[in-house]
Amino acid sequence: MLGPQGAGKGTQAQRISRETGAKHIATGDLVRAEIKSGSELGEAVKDYNNRGELVPDEIIIEMTKPHLEKHDAWLLDGFPRNEAQARALDEALEELGLELDAAVVLEAPDKELVERLSGRRTSEATGKIYHVEHDPPPEGDGEDPGPFIQREDDREESIRRRLEIYHEHTKPLKDYYVEKDILVTVDATQAIPEVTKDVMAALERKDA
């Protein structure tokens, strides 16, 4: 599942996982779980995070491989992010005797993504995320007293920079999957159920 931040990759991966029974594998969750476990691999990942460096591809692959092997069907969310990672993933899959059925990319204009992300507010009390326009923080709600803050990475200048990086790395990635004839593009500006419906229809076409 590919797409920029704010396009709804996590939401769609969860929905499609429920519809199909495929295991939702979010690499961000795997990284956090490995760190929490205190394993040798987790300590290595923690060191990279503490230094503000990206976790090397081979470590992400090492963490992900057991989950790819364990489940008959899965949805990978958060990896690969560039062509080099896609090639590393293909090598790992070849070792396991597996291959990708489809690479689904959720597309939305930058303007809409900036609007979606810059409107987010996070509750310091509960960690729940709201949106100033679509899902405003509650007022005087005992269940979530706030305060509700805008995270640094949800500020407009931060979002625009992340989108620049995304486009720079993702064009070659999309071209790579076009060459393999497995790229599926879905309009992420639609309502959530419509996006799910389009993804499911595209996957069915790939299976046919």
- The architecture in CATH of the region 9-207 reads 3-Layer(aba) Sandwich (3.40)
What pLDDT, on a 0 to 100 scale, did the predictor assign at position 141?
Answer: 64
What pLDDT, on a 0 to 100 scale, did the predictor assign at position 87?
Answer: 95
State yes or no: is 128 an active-site residue.
Answer: no
Whether 54 shows a pLDDT value over 80: the answer reads: no
State yes or no: is 111 an active-site residue.
Answer: no
Distance (Å, rounded) from C-alpha 93 to C-alpha 119? 39
Q: Could you tell me how many helices (H) and strands (E) the chain has, helices first?
A: 8, 7
For residue 208, name the pLDDT band (cuts at 50, 70, 90): low
Q: Cβ-count burial of 129 within 10 angstroms (0-12 exposed, 13-18 middle, 19+ buried)? A: middle
Which candidate in 70, 151, 161, 171 is catalytic? 151
State yes or no: is 81 an active-site residue.
Answer: yes
Distance (Å, rounded) from C-alpha 93 to C-alpha 52? 29
For residue 30, name the pLDDT band (cuts at 50, 70, 90): confident
Give the number of other CB atoms < 10 A from CB of residue 55: 17
Poorest-confidence range of 80-89, 122-131, 181-190?
122-131
pLDDT per residue as tens digits for the range 127-178: 888 888 878 888 866 788 888 998 887 888 888 988 998 898 888 999 999 9
Locate 116 and state its tokens. 């979606």
Whether 81 shows a pLDDT value over 80: the answer reads: yes
Top-confidence residue, 139 or 190: 190
Whether 205 shows a pLDDT value over 90: the answer reads: no
Whether 49 shows a pLDDT value over 90: the answer reads: no
In the chain, where are the structural domains located? 9-207
State yes or no: is 18 an active-site residue.
Answer: no
Give the global pTM: 0.80
Whether 193 shows a pLDDT value over 90: the answer reads: yes
**What does the radius of gyration of the chain's CA atoms come to, in whole angstroms?**
18
Which candidate in 15, 81, 116, 121 is catalytic? 81
**8 A C-beta contact, residue 93 and residue 99:** yes
**8 A C-beta contact, residue 39 and residue 27:** no
State yes or no: is 9 an active-site residue.
Answer: yes
Which candidate in 23, 162, 174, 197 is catalytic? 162
Poorest-confidence range of 2-6, 21-25, 49-53, 126-130?
49-53
